[in-house]
Structure 1
């Protein structure tokens, strides 16, 4: 599998902020608000998403019962993440390999 870059272009493609797993997460919304004020490239821990690259979330208020949006994501499609491990829910299961 190709190495996925943690960059602004991929952050913009990422569907994690739309995912019902983190939809009610106060932690994720705080990170989204903070992200708006960051100039330049953010650090992975500042982004509520891109878990396929950065690994498990630092937020502890996610809803694991929510439906994962990974198959709708352009990063998922571009890097063929359906062929790797884990097969989604990167926020809980770690980064894509």
Structure 2
């Protein structure tokens, strides 16, 4: 498996923002507001997307910074385009990247 790119394409395809694990997280909601502001900024804006601002793509960025996510809820990783595209079912961890770290 090649390293999963931390890119706008993958951010946009990621299901984390719709996942029950983090849907009630205030930290995630705050990060989503920041992401919206960034996407509305001019391309020359000093604000950029980075792993600390994006509540998702944990399969490449590792564990979630937000600690108020609820990993007792059902994970959606196996429904994600990225999970399917990169064959993440064959790698560790198999799901719950937000809790267990990036796919290796």
Q: TM-score, normalised by structure 2?
A: 0.90
- Inter-partner Cα distance in structure 1 for 2:7 and 2:71: 26
Once superposed, what is the RMSD of the aligned Cα atoms?
1.0
Question: How many residues of Structure 1 are paired with residues of Structure 2 in the alignment?
Answer: 97
Measured after TM superposition, the shift of residue 64 of structure 1 is 1.3
> What are the equivalent positions in structure 2 for 1:82-97 lying under 5 Å apart?
82-97=89-104
Give, in whole Å, the separation in 2 of the partners of 1:4 and 1:60: 23
Q: Which has the larger radius of gyration?
A: 2
Structure 1 unmatched runs, 5+: none
Residue 73 of structure 1, CA deviation: 0.4
What corresponds to 1:78 in structure 2?
Answer: 85
Stretches of structure 2 lacking an aligned partner (at least 5 in a row): none
